[in-house]
Structure 1
Amino acid sequence: MNKRVAVIRGGRSKERDISLKTGKAVYEALETEGVDVIALDPEEENFYQQLTTEEIDVAFIALHGRYGEDGTIQGLFEMMDIPYTGSGVLASSLAMDKIISKKLFQQEGVLTPEFKVISRNNWDQQAEKLLTELKIELDLPVVVKPALEGSSLGLSIIKKRENLATAVDTAFEYDNEVLVEKYIAGKEITIGILGNQDLSVLPIIEIKPKTGAYDFEAKYTKGMTEFVIPAQLEEEIYNQAQKIANKAYRVLKCSGMARADLIVSKEGKPYVLEVNTIPGMTETSLLPQAAQAAGIDFPELVLEILEYAVK
């Protein structure tokens, strides 16, 4: 690629360390391919000055979480007329907000687990009333998580009613809205998607955490999770899961790349949990693993994502 590329990594979210790893892997892959590449961090004091003086042709966004995955940095690049990887402002914002995205899935016929939303203000004023309503409307177990965080930060799986209040309080440490979602027992899978208009749905990965919950520790501790690719699903269910992931991608108006996380229930129904518009991009991350299974090596994947940005 005959363009000057800036890898944007680091940032100020709680996922900064993960972002630095993604950025390092992307930078090294581009350097190996002979691309003119620099690395920039939005937390550096001269970040904006560097954007204006480095004559950047395209930005590879390797930021996870707030300010990088929620449409914020995308808006800056739109204003500066700098092409960038991944989804645009609207899609990034929609996908980052688990509550809004689930409401859109429901409206568009994309199967997603039943859920309730709690705001911090209502919780502070009437916690006991809300707990009673939750216990009536959603059978245990439930999944409790903040609306706007990634990497399973603040997530709890609750099987006992007496633990529900603590889980909600924990989730409020990360955001002002909390999602309480019906727990679907089954196989956890993830599906990578590449493209803008003509989409490539990658082989499905089955996620098998040894603790039973794919939380922050299971995601980022070596040996805590087994990944099976392709996922061990009946052909009809496998195809259905890919189709529903494709639809979720289009409903949110994603572009470039994304990774949809789903649960396949014991009855064989695929439920969409969320869509990640900037998934991890080290060579051992899930999207690159799926691409590798499709015959796309890591440097080739990075270059392909850049091409979607330029288009």
Structure 2
Amino acid sequence: MTINDNQHTNPFNSVNDGADNETLITNPESALAAAAQVEKDGIENNQPSQALSLSVATSKVKDASEFGKVAVIYGGSSNERSVSLDSGAAVLQALQNQGVDATHFDPKHQDITELREYDRVFNVLHGRGGEDGLLQGVLQWFDIPQTGSGILASALGMDKVRTKQLWQGCGLSTAPFSLLTADTDWQQVVNMLGLPLIIKPVHEGSSIGMTKVNNLDELPAAYATAVQCGDAVMAERWITGREFTIVVIDDEAYPVIRLEPADITNFYDFEAKYNRNDTSYYIPCGLSDADEKHLQALSLAAFRAVDAKGWGRIDAMQDEAGSFWLLEINTVPGMTSHSLVPMAAKAYGMDFDTLCWHILAQTL
């Protein structure tokens, strides 16, 4: 089933008619609580979430013993290690809560060949080494089932430029961009993309190394910040408008979340994602039903174009004229208390433990 065909029941459809009905959430804990209340109201009205009933009815796994010995891989050596440690600990606890024989595996401190002792892997290794195809290749070589995307999609998804080039080739709208080097003519970049700009390392996640540039003189310093994360750096046109994230699980787009940093003149950076509690999350997202379905369909097309599998997240913007622009894909999304996948799943009627079970079950 796709978004373009039939829609699963969205618990927010009855109130998702526009901005007047938005639910403002000022921190992720409240976002999860609001979603839980929607689920509770539906159950009290004898209208249980279809997603919740589907997860039970169609699960490939009825007993935790069917998973065998599970390695939850998190930590690693990338710049996202701290986030991965938080995400992985939450996933590990959720699986153990349900009787799964799950163990923490940190490739920074353990020999990767030890993975041969496990029956399957839940990958929560954010960033390089875990999200770029390297771990996926090792697991494929060892013939160990793993959550999420394979080698191709992981490598593409970690490379923002090649992802955008692929989307362009598929006719999917993505924000204009340019690769940068130390010899780049900064004025030419501004002439091509305008101001402001966002400068990004090509191979990093979690907004690490990103800088918003408001004038020409700021470009060299922004480039210098980004290049510390690797040689490949890009400039992307700044889209003035609203920012959204779309979670995809089992080839289905979940309820769209709108993000709004406390300082809306800035962007959803590392601090806003993981350390601040004043970022606002809107569920419903404030789009009309037609626009939300359009954005879900666009995100699914982007997800499939990269050949992503299992679960992931698409980030997008809507400009002031109402057009949507794809930004990037995340093939190993965060699973922390501030993360967006648990929010979207909760809005769909799936609690965190069930979500982790459901993702792990994709390995069977």
TM-score (structure 1 length as normaliser): 0.93
Who is 2:255 aligned against? Answer: 203
Deviation at 1:294, TM superposition (A): 0.2
Query: Which of 112, 133, 142 is residue 48 of structure 1 equivalent to?
Result: 112
Q: Is the 8 A contact 2:76 2:125 kept in 1?
A: yes
One-letter amino acid of the structure 2 residue matched with residue 77 of structure 1? L
Deviation at 1:283, TM superposition (A): 4.5
One-letter amino acid of the structure 2 residue matched with residue 250 of structure 1? R
Task: Determine the C-alpha separation between the residues in 1 that align with 2:190 and 2:327.
Answer: 21
One-letter amino acid of the structure 2 residue matched with residue 99 of structure 1? V
Who is 1:102 aligned against? Answer: 164
Who is 2:125 aligned against? Answer: 63
Output aligned runs, 1:159-170, within 5 Å. 159-170=214-225
In the alignment, is residue 183 of structure 1 matched against residue 245 of structure 2?
no
Output the aligned Cα RMSD. 1.1
One-letter amino acid of the structure 2 residue matched with residue 254 of structure 1? A
In the alignment, is residue 218 of structure 1 matched against residue 272 of structure 2?
yes
Q: Which has the higher contact order (CA 8 A, sep 6+)?
A: 2
Q: Is the 8 A contact 1:187 1:263 kept in 2?
A: yes
Deviation at 1:224, TM superposition (A): 3.0
Deviation at 1:175, TM superposition (A): 1.4
In the alignment, is residue 146 of structure 1 matched against residue 201 of structure 2?
yes
In the alignment, is residue 30 of structure 1 matched against residue 95 of structure 2?
yes
SS at match of 1:273: strand
Gaps (5+ residues) in structure 2?
Answer: 1-63
Deviation at 1:157, TM superposition (A): 1.0
Structure 1 residues 152-175: Cα deviation after superposition (integer angstroms, max 9, x where no partner): 011111111111111111111111
Output aligned runs, 1:1-311, within 5 Å. 1=64, 2-3=66-67, 4-44=69-109, 46-52=110-116, 54=117, 56-119=118-181, 123=182, 126-127=183-184, 130-195=185-250, 199-212=251-264, 213-310=267-364
Structure 1 residues 279-302: Cα deviation after superposition (integer angstroms, max 9, x where no partner): 001354100100000001111111
Percent identity, please: 39
Q: Is the 8 A contact 2:83 2:336 kept in 1?
A: no
Task: Determine the C-alpha separation between the residues in 2 that align with 1:33 and 1:65.
Answer: 28
TM-score (structure 2 length as normaliser): 0.80
Deviation at 1:181, TM superposition (A): 0.5
Number of residue-to-residue matches in the alignment:
297
Which contiguous aligned blocks of 4+ residues in structure 1 show a shift greater than 4 angstroms? none
One-letter amino acid of the structure 1 residue matched with residue 258 of structure 2? E
SS at match of 1:288: helix
Deviation at 1:238, TM superposition (A): 1.1
Q: Is the 8 A contact 1:211 1:218 kept in 2?
A: no
Structure 1 residues 132-169: Cα deviation after superposition (integer angstroms, max 9, x where no partner): 21122111011110000001011111111111111111
Gaps (5+ residues) in structure 1?
Answer: none
Structure 1 residues 110-145: Cα deviation after superposition (integer angstroms, max 9, x where no partner): 1001111114xxx1xx34xx2121122111011110
Q: Is the 8 A contact 2:71 2:105 kept in 1?
A: yes
Q: Is the 8 A contact 2:95 2:356 kept in 1?
A: yes
One-letter amino acid of the structure 1 residue matched with residue 320 of structure 2? K
One-letter amino acid of the structure 2 residue matched with residue 141 of structure 1? P
One-letter amino acid of the structure 2 residue matched with residue 279 of structure 1? P
Deviation at 1:193, TM superposition (A): 0.2
In terms of fraction of residues, the more strand-rich structure is 1
Task: Determine the C-alpha separation between the residues in 2 that align with 1:133 and 1:139.
Answer: 10
